[in-house]
Amino acid sequence: MGLPNQVAEELRRIVGRAAVIDSANDLRIFERDGSIEGAMPDAVVLASTTEHVAGVIKVAAKHKIPVVPRGAGTGLSGGAVTIRGGIALQVTRMRRILNIDPVAQTAIVEPGVVNQELSLVAAQQGLFYAPDPSSQKACTIGGNAAENSGGPHCLYYGVTTNHVLGMEIVLADGSVHWVSGDAPDRVGLDLCGVLVGSEGTLCAITKIKVRLLRIPPSIATMLAAFPSIETASQAVSAVIGHGIVPAALEMMDNVTVGAVEAHYHAGYPTDAGAVLLVEVDGTADTTRELTAAIGKILTENHGYAMREAQTPAERELLWAGRKGAIGALGRIKPNYYLHDGVVPRSRLPQVLSAVGEIGEHYKLPVANVFHAGDGNLHPNILFDMRDRDVMQQVESAGEEMLRAVVEMGGALSGEHGIGLEKSAFMPWIYSEDDLGAMHRVKDVFDPNGILNPGKIFPDPSRKAVHLAGRTGMAIEAKWW
């Protein structure tokens, strides 16, 4: 396919010759994100400035070419996949931290700044950026804002939208605006709130002003083993039912613990049916008191082999196991398919048992590692893409798991976004009128539908066609 030469030339004039990629081999690198779907862009543009982003979008608008803003490509729902071709607008060269204000406790960053880098730099001022997706070593703040990403510590601190104070955005006509800012209670509609989490379908993000928090003086991280997922789930509800909202409350099932322990040797109990990782922070008084209270509750709920990280290094190791869990699952199968449905917390045991049954039915191993305190599941369906026909099975299993989530009053995604993979399921949770209202928003911001088309909203024409093509493509590409 490729872009018409004239369009490619226009793009080169904006960003420079070397910053437009359109050779088939190079484009292949941008075919995918962290999800299991892929599609080739016609061109990749490496933007370095807001003016670049605005200029590229103006060109796309003029020629009505799809444009898909892209950060590190770690997203798990296909948000950065150019499913209708067009331009992948790569912002990872925009990676300056423009300002950290230690008094106001804010930072202004470009969208390509890596999540963890911001916290590392802010730490020099005793501050940190709270949302911490497991991919934080690679994922960008721009991508986080587009997806409204979460992370383990969002249980207490809230997700990305709770920490974004304002953004510089580029609209579908190439115009540049600031939305929101420092002051609370701004006059008018909360555009910033609507744009965070809009998955690149309403605007491109070129600067983000975020809230930073003071690093708590004391952090305590505990690990406890449980005989089963059910008992661990019960313990989660009991902790929160006691009026304690820990900073993080994560669960890993037996399959995950086995893989993690083999990889990280973090001292996770491999005989356990499930493991809880609990973290509390605050002053030393707070953590001491909460640790004791939580320890008691966990013990009462069949927790055993409890231990508390004694050093920062030990704490790091416990977290490395959790945040690296999905990578460690590669020891079991080379590929995973990860959903992130959310259920009301009290339904966790039920939904996890349904997830287990679905895995057994399809003879696919499933590893659960998730944000238990939020009721945010992460069932990883493990498979080998080289096995013929497995993709269809994986797809069906994933769909059934989401179905179970929705039947228990849940939602399709807690933090990964709808993107491509779940757009067909949106009618499970929203009526035509609900989706119609969302579409009005889309039409206001992007009347010609050039910004990340084919995402969020169901596209009845797409699914069957694409599925067939995808399986073939993945095998042909010998991705793994």
Partner 1 sequence: MVSTVAVEKPSTADELARRLHDAASQKLAVVPVGGGRASGMGGAPERLDVELHTTRLDRVIEHSQADMVVSVEAGITLEALQHELAKSAQFLPLDPFSSPGHTIGGLLATGWTGPLRLRFGSPRDFLIGIRVALPDGTLASGGGRVVKNVSGYDMMKLHYGALGSLGVIVAASFKVFPKPLRDVTVSSEGGWDAADQALTMPVAPSALEIFSDGRVLARYTGSGDAVDRVVRDLGWPVEDHSIWERHSGRAPARWARIAAPRSALRGLVEGLPRGAGWWASPGIGVAHWAIASDTPSVKEVRARTETAGGSLVMMAAPDDFMRDVGAWGTPPPTIDIMRRLKHAFDPDHVLNPGRFVV
* Interactions with partner 1, residue window 140-179 (CB under 8 A): 147-148, 150, 154, 158-159, 161-162, 171, 177-179
Residue 248 CB, nearest distance to partner 1 (Å)?
Answer: 13
Residues 241-260 that bind partner 1 (CB under 8 A): 241-245
CA triple 28-32-33, angle to 5 deg: 140
β-strand pairing of 67-70 with 87-90: parallel
Q: Does 193 bind partner 1 (CB under 8 A)?
A: yes
Question: How far apart are the C-alpha atoms of 195 and 22, rounded to whole Å?
Answer: 30
Q: Using CB under 8 A, pick the residue from 18, 183, 313, 465 that binds partner 1.
A: 183
Q: Does 300 bind partner 1 (CB under 8 A)?
A: no
Beta-carbon contacts of residue 187 (< 8 Å; ≥ 6 apart): none
Q: Using CB under 8 A, pick the residue from 443, 464, 477, 480 that binds partner 1.
A: 443
CB atoms within 10 A of CB 194: 16
Q: Does 78 bind partner 1 (CB under 8 A)?
A: no
**With CB under 8 A, what is the number of residues at the site for partner 1?**
84
Q: Are 245 and 226 in contact (CB under 8 A)?
A: no
Q: Are 39 and 81 in contact (CB under 8 A)?
A: yes
Q: Using CB under 8 A, pick the residue from 130, 196, 224, 229 that binds partner 1.
A: 196
Residue closer to partner 1, measured from CB, 305 or 438: 438
Residue 426 CB, nearest distance to partner 1 (Å)?
Answer: 6
Residue 210 CB, nearest distance to partner 1 (Å)?
Answer: 15
Residue closer to partner 1, measured from CB, 192 or 274: 192
Q: Does 194 bind partner 1 (CB under 8 A)?
A: yes
CB under 8 A: which stretch of 121-129, 131-139, 235-243, 309-317 binds partner 1?
Answer: 235-243
Q: Does 205 bind partner 1 (CB under 8 A)?
A: no
Residue 208 CB, nearest distance to partner 1 (Å)?
Answer: 16
Q: Shortest CA distance to 256 belongs to which of 290, 282, 232, 283?
A: 232
How buried is residue 58: exposed, middle or buried, by Cβ count under 10 Å (0-12/13-18/19+)?
Answer: middle
Q: For the stretch 338-359, what's the b/e string if a residue is b when 16 or more beta carbons lie within 10 angstroms of its beta carbon? A: bbbbbbebebbbebbebbbebb
Q: Using CB under 8 A, pick the residue from 26, 190, 360, 387 that binds partner 1.
A: 190
Residue closer to partner 1, measured from CB, 33 or 261: 33
Q: Does 452 bind partner 1 (CB under 8 A)?
A: no
Q: Does 191 bind partner 1 (CB under 8 A)?
A: yes
Q: Using CB under 8 A, pick the residue from 374, 395, 421, 446 that binds partner 1.
A: 374
Q: Does 350 bind partner 1 (CB under 8 A)?
A: no
Q: Does 68 bind partner 1 (CB under 8 A)?
A: no
Q: Which amino acid is at 166?
A: G
Question: How far apart are the C-alpha atoms of 66 and 59, rounded to whole Å?
Answer: 10
Beta-carbon contacts of residue 240 (< 8 Å; ≥ 6 apart): 249, 345, 373
Q: Does 344 bind partner 1 (CB under 8 A)?
A: yes
Residue 244 CB, nearest distance to partner 1 (Å)?
Answer: 8
User: CA of 44: how far to CAs of 65, 94, 145, 167, 245, in Å?
Assistant: 13, 15, 21, 24, 44
Residue 415 CB, nearest distance to partner 1 (Å)?
Answer: 6
Residue 184 CB, nearest distance to partner 1 (Å)?
Answer: 5
Question: How far apart are the C-alpha atoms of 170 and 50, rounded to whole Å?
Answer: 8
Q: Using CB under 8 A, pick the residue from 342, 364, 369, 404 that binds partner 1.
A: 342
Q: Does 403 bind partner 1 (CB under 8 A)?
A: no
Q: Using CB under 8 A, pick the residue from 23, 99, 283, 392 that binds partner 1.
A: 283
Residues 406-425 that bind partner 1 (CB under 8 A): 409-418, 422
Q: Does 445 bind partner 1 (CB under 8 A)?
A: yes
Residue closer to partner 1, measured from CB, 270 or 353: 353
Q: Does 289 bind partner 1 (CB under 8 A)?
A: yes
Residue closer to partner 1, measured from CB, 271 or 285: 285
Q: Does 219 bind partner 1 (CB under 8 A)?
A: no
Q: Using CB under 8 A, pick the residue from 198, 231, 301, 452 that binds partner 1.
A: 198
Residue 285 CB, nearest distance to partner 1 (Å)?
Answer: 4
Residue closer to partner 1, measured from CB, 149 or 254: 149
